[in-house]
C-alpha cells in the first residue's frame, strides 16, 4: 500500500467492514483487493507466549513473523466448548462454521460444510497442503474431509481421492496402505494421476503436476528427532508446483503441526524448536508474496496449548539465562485469544479482533471463491 493511498484505503476498509460482502471505494465503485493466491498457515497450539518464548530463545532477533504487516487476534472457542480442540478449531478456520469438538468439516448437525480449499477447487484454482503430522490428522483433515470424528483417519484418507488437491505433503502412510479394508489408496491415487513419493529428496526433485508425499507412517519426526528443514523446503516446493499448475491462483494450507505437542508435554524446548521451524516456512511464504503480487499470507493458530506464560525467574531448561521461566499451566488447550499475522494482498483486513470463523470468510470475500 502506498502511503498516499493509505487514508483512502483506511476509509474503504471501514466501509467494507460495515457491509456484508462487498467493499466500496471512494467513488462508490467496487474496490476489492486483487487476491489470487492464498497461503493459510496454522501453528497448531501456537499462542502469543509460544511466539514470545521463541523470540527470547532467539535472543530477540526478529522472527520472520515480525515481517507481518498487520496483526490481529482470533477467538477460538468452539460450538460446544470454551476450549476448542484442533478438529473444531480447524473446521472453523477451514469452513467458517463453529462446530463441536472432534468434528471434521461438519457442522453441529453433522452436515458437511465446504472448506475454502474445496471452494478454491470449485473455482478452478490449484490447491495444496503441507503439514508435519499425518495428512489425515485433525487440522489438514478439516480442509478436505467431512466426517463426524477426527478419529476416523482411514475415512479421512479416502477424501484425498474425492478431491482434486494438487499437492499434499506430510506423514500418514499407514492410513493409505495399512488399512482395515485392505485397499491401497496410494495405488488408487497413482491411477488418478498422482505421483506418490516417500522421501524428501523425491519430493524436492518432483517436476510433474500432482504430488502426494507421505514421508512417515504416521506423524513425521519432531525437530529434535531430525526432521531438518522439511517444512520450509516442502512449503517452497508446494508454492512452486501450485504456481506452475495454476497461474490464475491457488490455495495452500501449511501447518506447523507439532507446536501443539510441545505444549501438551509442557516441553518448552519442543515448543521453541517447532515454532522456529514453522517460522522458517512463514519466511518462505512471505518471500513468495514479495515476488508474486496478489498473494495473501495469513498465519494464525487453531488454539493455544499448555497455558504457557513467561514469568520472571531462572530458566527451567538449558538455554542461556534469559531471566524468564517457561511456565505451563495445563497439559491441555486453553481459551485465550491467539495472534493473527497477515502479509501481502488484503492483509489489512485481518488487523482486527476476529472470530476464528471470520478468517476464511474474509479470504472468500477477497478472492471471490464461493
The conformation of residue 96, written as its DSSP 8-state character, comes to S
Smallest gap from residue 333 Cβ to Zn ion (A)? 6
Tell me which of 118, 153, 158, 260 binds Zn ion, using CB under 5 A. 260
Whichever of 260 and 267 has its CB closer to Zn ion, that residue is 260
Whichever of 260 and 277 has its CB closer to Zn ion, that residue is 260
Confirm if 143 and 253 have CB atoms less than 8 A apart.
Answer: yes
Confirm if 73 and 338 have CB atoms less than 8 A apart.
Answer: yes
The entry of Mg ion, Zn ion, none near residue 257 (CB within 5 to 8 angstroms by kind) is Mg ion
Whichever of 86 and 127 has its CB closer to Zn ion, that residue is 86
Smallest gap from residue 82 Cβ to Mg ion (A)? 19
DSSP calls for 160-219: HHHS--SEEEEE-HHHHHS-TT---HHHHHHHTT-EEE-SHHHHHH--SS-EEEE-SSSS
Size of the site for Zn ion (CB under 5 A): 1
Distance CA 259, CA 51 (A): 10
Furthest-apart CA atoms within the chain: distance in Å: 63
Whichever of 86 and 295 has its CB closer to Mg ion, that residue is 86
3-state class of 104 per DSSP?
A: strand
Q: What is the crossing angle of helices 48-57 and 268-291, to 10°?
A: 90
Catalytic hit among 86, 115, 134, 257: 86
Smallest gap from residue 152 Cβ to Zn ion (A)? 18
Phi then psi for residue 150, to 5 deg, are -60, -15
Q: Pattern of binders to Zn ion over 39-78, x per CB under 5 A?
A: ----------------------------------------
The conformation of residue 130, written as its DSSP 8-state character, comes to E
The residues of the shown chain that bind Mg ion, judged by CB under 5 A, are 44, 86, 139, 257
Q: Identify whether 19 is a catalytic site residue.
A: no
Residues 347-366 that bind Zn ion (CB under 5 A): none
Judged by CB under 5 A, which stretch of 160-168, 199-207, 257-265, 272-280 contacts Zn ion? 257-265
CB-based contacts of 69, cutoff 8 Å, min separation 6 = 342, 343, 344, 347, 348
Distance CA 22, CA 32 (A): 7
Whichever of 44 and 364 has its CB closer to Mg ion, that residue is 44
Q: Pattern of binders to Zn ion over 218-247, x per CB under 5 A?
A: ------------------------------
Judged by CB under 5 A, which stretch of 107-115, 187-195, 224-232, 253-261 contacts Zn ion? 253-261
Smallest gap from residue 127 Cβ to Mg ion (A)? 18
C-alpha cell at 60: 530477540
Smallest gap from residue 260 Cβ to Zn ion (A)? 4
- Of the candidates 138, 123, 120, the one whose C-alpha atom is nearest the C-alpha of residue 38 is 120
Whichever of 76 and 235 has its CB closer to Zn ion, that residue is 76
Q: Which residue's C-beta sits nearest to Mg ion? A: 139
Give me the helices (H) in 220-267, please. Answer: 230-245, 259-264
Smallest gap from residue 101 Cβ to Zn ion (A)? 11
Interacting residue ranges for Zn ion, rule: CB under 5 A: 260
Q: Which residues are catalytic?
A: 86
Amino acid at each position: 500500500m502506498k502511503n498516499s493511498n493509505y487514508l483512502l484505503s483506511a476509509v474503504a476498509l471501514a466501509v467494507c467492514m460495515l457491509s456484508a460482502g462487498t467493499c466500496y471505494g471512494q467513488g462508490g465503485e467496487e474496490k476489492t483487493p486483487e487476491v489470487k493466491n492464498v497461503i493459510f498457515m496454522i501453528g497448531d497450539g501456537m499462542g502469543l507466549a509460544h511466539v514470545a518464548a521463541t523470540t527470547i530463545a532467539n535472543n530477540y532477533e526478529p522472527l520472520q513473523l515480525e515481517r507481518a504487516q498487520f496483526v490481529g487476534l482470533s477467538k477460538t472457542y468452539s460450538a460446544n466448548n470454551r476450549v476448542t480442540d484442533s478438529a473444531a478449531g480447524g473446521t472453523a478456520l477451514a469452513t467458517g462454521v463453529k462446530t463441536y469438538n472432534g468434528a471434521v468439516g461438519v457442522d453441529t448437525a453433522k452436515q458437511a460444510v465446504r472448506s475454502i480449499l474445496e471452494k478454491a477447487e470449485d473455482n478452478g484454482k490449484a490447491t495444496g497442503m503441507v503439514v508435519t503430522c499425518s495428512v489425515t490428522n485433525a487440522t489438514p483433515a478439516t480442509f478436505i474431509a467431512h466426517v463426524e470424528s477426527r478419529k476416523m483417519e482411514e475415512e479421512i484418507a479416502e477424501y484425498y481421492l474425492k478431491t482434486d488437491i494438487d499437492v499434499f505433503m506430510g506423514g500418514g502412510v499407514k492410513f493409505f496402505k495399512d488399512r482395515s479394508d485392505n485397499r491401497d489408496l496410494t495405488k488408487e491415487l497413482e491411477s488418478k494421476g498422482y505421483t506418490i513419493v516417500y522421501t524428501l529428496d523425491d519430493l524436492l526433485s518432483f517436476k510433474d503436476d500432482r504430488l502426494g508425499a507421505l514421508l512417515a507412517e504416521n506423524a513425521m519426526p519432531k525437530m529434535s528427532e531430525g526432521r531438518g528443514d522439511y517444512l520450509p523446503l516442502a512449503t517452497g516446493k508446494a508454492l512452486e508446483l501450485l504456481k506452475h499448475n495454476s497461474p490464475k491462483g491457488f490455495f495452500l494450507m501449511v501447518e506447523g503441526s507439532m507446536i501443539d505437542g510441545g505444549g501438551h508435554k509442557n516441553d518448552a524446548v519442543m515448543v521453541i524448536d517447532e515454532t522456529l521451524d514453522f517460522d522458517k516456512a512463514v519466511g518462505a511464504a512471505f518471500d513468495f508474496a514479495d515476488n508474486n503480487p496478489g498473494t495473501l499470507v495469513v498465519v494464525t493458530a487453531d488454539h493455544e496449548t499448555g497455558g504457557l506464560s513467561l514469568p520472571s525467574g531462572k530458566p527451567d531448561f538449558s538455554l542461556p539465562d534469559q531471566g524468564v521461566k517457561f511456565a505451563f499451566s495445563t497439559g491441555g488447550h486453553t481459551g485465550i485469544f491467539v495472534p493473527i499475522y497477515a502479509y501481502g494482498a488484503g492483509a489489512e483486513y485481518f488487523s482486527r479482533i476476529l472470530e476464528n470463523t471470520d478468517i476464511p470468510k474474509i479470504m472468500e470475500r477477497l478472492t471471490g471463491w464461493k
